[in-house]
Amino acid sequence: MCGLTGFYCPHSASERDAIGLDMAKAISHRGPDDAGVWTDEATGLTLAHRRLSILDLSPAGHQPMHSACSRYVIVFNGEIYNHRELRERLHAEGLQPAWRGHADTETLLACIAAWGMEKALQATVGMFAIALWDRQSRQLTLARDRVGEKPLYWGWQNGTLLFGSELKALKAHPAFHATVNRDAIALLLRHGYISAPHSIYQGIHKLCAGHYITIPLEDQRLARTAKAVPYWRMNDTIHAGLNDPFLGTASAATDALEKQLSTSIHAQMLSDVPLGAFLSGGIDSSTIVALMQAQSARPVRTFTIGFDDPRYNEAQHASVIAQHLGTDHTELYVQPGDALAVIPRLPEIYDEPFADSSQIPTYLVCQLARQHVTVSLSGDAGDELFGGYNTYEFAPALWKKISRLPAPLRSTASAIMSKLPASSWDSVLKVLGPLIPGRAGHTLSGEKIHKAAGLLSADSRESFYHRLSSHWERPEHIAIGAREPASLLNSPHDWPHTDSFEHWMMAVGTQSYMADDILPKVDRAAMANSLEVRIPMLDHRVIELAWRMPLELKLRDGKGKWLLREVLYRHVPRELIERPKKGFSIPLAAWLRGPLRDWAEALLDEHRLRREGYFYPAPVRQAWRLHLEGKQDFSARLWSLLMFQAWLENQQ
Q: What residues are annotated to the active site?
A: 2
Contact partners, residue 264, CB within 8 Å, separation at least 6: 81, 536, 537, 539, 541, 542
Q: DSSP 3-state assignment of 36?
A: strand
- Calpha distance 191→457 (Å, rounded): 20
- Calpha distance 328→305 (Å, rounded): 15
One-letter amino acid for residue 625 of the chain: R
- Calpha distance 237→234 (Å, rounded): 5
- Calpha distance 445→425 (Å, rounded): 7
C-alpha distances out from residue 399 to 309, 455, 468, 497, Å: 34, 9, 10, 19
Q: DSSP 3-state assignment of 375?
A: strand
Buried b (16+ CB within 10 A) or exposed e, 306-324: bbeeeebbbbebbbebbee
Does 305 show up as a binding residue in the annotation? Answer: yes
Contact partners, residue 222, CB within 8 Å, separation at least 6: 216
State residue 181 phi and psi, 5-degree precision: -85, 100
Q: DSSP 3-state assignment of 418?
A: helix
Does 379 show up as a binding residue in the annotation? Answer: yes
Q: DSSP 3-state assignment of 278?
A: strand
- Which residues, listed in sequence order, are joined to residue 533 by a DSSP beta bridge? 376
Could you tell me where the beta strands, DSSP code E, fall in 475-587? 532-534
Instruction: Please check whether residue 501 is in contact with residue 396, taking contact to mean a CB–CB distance below 8 angstroms.
Output: yes
- Calpha distance 410→147 (Å, rounded): 38
Q: Residue 640: CA atoms inside 13 Å, Cβ hemisphere, count?
A: 25
- Calpha distance 204→181 (Å, rounded): 9
- Calpha distance 164→6 (Å, rounded): 6
Q: DSSP 3-state assignment of 110?
A: helix
Angle (nearest 5°) at CA 419 between 413 and 423: 115
Could you tell me where the beta strands, DSSP code E, fall in 380-492? none
Task: State the pairing for strand pair 211-216/204-206.
Answer: unpaired
Binding-site residues sit at 104, 305, 378-379
Binding-site residues for L-glutamine sit at 104
Binding-site residues for ATP sit at 305, 378-379
